[in-house]
Structure 1
Amino acid sequence: MQDVLIIGAGPCGLSAAIECEKRGFSTEIIDKHNVVHSIYLYPTHMQFFSTAEMLEIGGVPFALSNDKPYRDEALAYYRRVAKHYQLKISPYEEALSIKKQPDGTFQVHTRKRSGTESVKEAKHVVISTGYFDHPNYIGIPGEDLDKVTHYFREAHPYAGMKTAIIGGSNSAVDAAMELIRVGADVSVIYRGSEISQNIKPWVRPLFDSLVTKQRISLYLESSVTDIRENSITIKNISGEEIIVDNDFVLALTGFRPDRKLLASSGVELDDGMEKPSYNPETMETTVPGLFVAGVIASGRNANEVFIETGRDHGRLIAEYLSSAKTV
């Protein structure tokens, strides 16, 4: 039996394990994928908005020649941190359910990629799962076509293609910039009156310039209402419908954490069953001994919690366990 079982091997899960280990608690991390899988799913050439210092965990320096790291540098850093602390990580093992026992401990039912199921026991459990497995679907005709994806990895497959991007966040703008570089015909459709104010400041002027030069077609206060094999239908705020020739659609409409594991374990959920109830000073949920860390603690807006804020959740948990002497 471990003192602390952590579900999710993202940066916040790794940080929680490190903080608990530092205070003498035995830990194990399980993840249905591998270490920092969410970052692996980021676009191949993505550069972080945050500085390297804000992404550090466990006191291990994230040394770079430039200020803001790229995706591959972050992957290498978190692998190095996990190896440095010799964290016990069981990759490709999914948590199916969490059950609290009469003696106050927990049993976590898991399944490996091979299909083998088992039960892990722990005195405490930390849920630190991400959200990249669960995109926000629009719910429009044609969204299930092969030409539509909710993930953008790199621009090469779209070279010379008429590509529509649905969304107005950093991911949408970054994708548009990469697509232009490979010669794609790019349209950006966003329901807001302007692109997000949180666009990376070194990218925003370049994007605005491409829109001004009409190299990117920008449709504001608009939405895609229908997707067909060779076109999309865009409806603007005045009700006008515009049919645009189209080869591919990138529906970059964000993601949401999966609450099923939380709900099945008995944790109370607020905000329309979207946000777990927890003590922000300890990260303990309404189920004693069951904690949350990272983006799973957020509500409908997954951007409430970033790595730079969620990485501190593990310290709060470890300090609480240590001071309460509950192990």
Structure 2
Amino acid sequence: MKVYDIVIIGGGPIGLNCALEAEKAGLSYLIIEKGTIVNSLYNYPLYMTFFSTADKLEIADIPFISTAPKPGRREALEYYQGIARQRKININLYEEVLEISKTEKFAVKTTKNSYLAKNVLIATGFYDIPNLMEVKGENLPKVRHYYSEPYPYANQKVAVIGSSNSAVDAALETYRKGAQVTMIIRHAEISKSVKYWVKPDIINRITEGSIKAFFNAEVLEITPQTIIFKDENQQVHEIENDFVLAMTGYLPNFEFLKDSGIELQDECLKPLYDETTMESNVSGLYLAGVVCGGKDTHLWFIENSRIHAEIIVKNIVAKNSQE
């Protein structure tokens, strides 16, 4: 069986960047991705616009040409999938990694095959597991933790949970397609991370009453016909409701990290790794991208974690030269 220098788990922008960096260094590699190329971006809302400009999303010094100041989801898909095609990146799609074990080398078991590697790099992102509210009724069919487009919610009573970019986009888009929108926000204000050109829009819609908003609020229960929550004065409300868009964030697969031998620290479950090499507490097992932040998924994004690829490959090459 072939032994790869690196098996990369995750075919997102950071995983692709790691592959290109490995290729540049003459290292053999394989990306294993459980969905399509840049699968998380594919599952983003259809009309999403990035906060970053195109140049901040570039990998491997390959220009990202955008017709708008801020590129959207479709342009990003064209860019990253185009790189994978043009550079003939070695990637297996729709193949999920089930287990990583290590003796002398790493054994990577997937839904389709098994592979051997000298090093493994986890760049799986955080978009796979919703951050659940843990309330009664959260498993009802009307509750959605992913939002793609506003059209299914036309003329419906929609509760949007959260105040980050995804929640604000969902609230504004569904409102403009005729939904009656109520935002239930557990903080005292709209998140500071909301895109600066969108924030005035949501604040104005709330101020004028087009979108109702309850701050310092908490969802208590979801029923087939209603949603029950308490406001900042501890007053309980029960309002008619057709759909709940629970934009409460997403989490890395912590069980997978733990099963791979990676130690998780403090209440944020931040993986243990050396920031100078990106190597975890397991020798030869590296982390890259947003997965490095644990529950704090806003620490790392494409713009500031592109450098991880160079750091990791440099460390692997240095170790190889000492053997």
Name the TM tier (shorter chain).
Answer: over 0.9
Q: Which residue of 2 aligns with 1:233?
A: 228
C-alpha separation in 2, matches of 1:193 and 1:276: 30
Aligned residues: 320
Q: Which residue of 2 aligns with 1:87?
A: 89
Secondary structure of the structure 2 residue equivalent to 1:260: helix
Of the three residues 63, 66, 82, the one matched with 2:65 is 63
Q: Which residue of 1 aligns with 2:111?
A: 111
Q: Which residue of 1 aligns with 2:132?
A: 137
Stretch moving more, 188-197 or 229-238: 229-238
TM score, norm. by length of structure 2: 0.96
Q: Which residue of 2 aligns with 1:97?
A: 99
Judged with a 3 Å threshold, the aligned counterparts in structure 2 of structure 1 residues 273 and 219 are, in CA distance, closer, same or farther, namely: closer
> 2:28 corresponds to which letter in structure 1?
S
Q: Which residue of 2 aligns with 1:127?
A: 122
Of the three residues 148, 152, 155, the one matched with 2:143 is 148
Q: Which residue of 2 aligns with 1:31?
A: 33
Instruction: Find out whether 1:271 has 2:266 as its counterpart.
Output: yes
How big is the shift at 1:122? 0.8
How big is the shift at 1:151? 0.5
1:170-209 alignment runs, 5 A limit: 170-209=165-204
Secondary structure of the structure 2 residue equivalent to 1:304: coil
C-alpha distance after superposition, 1:125-154 (max 9, x if no partner): 101112222001101111111110101100
Indicate conservation of the 8 Å contact 2:272/2:281, yes or no: yes
Which ranges of structure 2 fall in alignment gaps of 5 or more residues?
Answer: none
C-alpha separation in 2, matches of 1:84 and 1:293: 23
> 1:62 corresponds to which letter in structure 2?
F
C-alpha distance after superposition, 1:16-39 (max 9, x if no partner): 111111011011100111111111
Indicate conservation of the 8 Å contact 1:58/1:81, yes or no: no
C-alpha distance after superposition, 1:236-294 (max 9, x if no partner): 12210111111110000000000222211222221248221111111001111110111
1:286-325 alignment runs, 5 A limit: 286-325=281-320
> 2:110 corresponds to which letter in structure 1?
T
> 2:4 corresponds to which letter in structure 1?
Q
Indicate conservation of the 8 Å contact 2:268/2:295, yes or no: no
C-alpha separation in 2, matches of 1:239 and 1:51: 42
> 1:248 corresponds to which letter in structure 2?
F
Of the three residues 10, 33, 49, the one matched with 1:8 is 10
Indicate conservation of the 8 Å contact 2:11/2:37, yes or no: yes
C-alpha separation in 1, matches of 2:194 and 2:278: 30
TM score, norm. by length of structure 1: 0.95
C-alpha separation in 2, matches of 1:149 and 1:157: 12
C-alpha separation in 2, matches of 1:78 and 1:273: 30
C-alpha separation in 2, matches of 1:213 and 1:265: 51
Moved runs in structure 1, 4+ residues, more than 6 A? none
Which ranges of structure 1 fall in alignment gaps of 5 or more residues?
Answer: 113-117
> 2:208 corresponds to which letter in structure 1?
K
Q: Which residue of 2 aligns with 1:257?
A: 252
Secondary structure of the structure 1 residue equivalent to 2:88: coil
% identity of equivalent residues: 43
> 1:283 corresponds to which letter in structure 2?
M
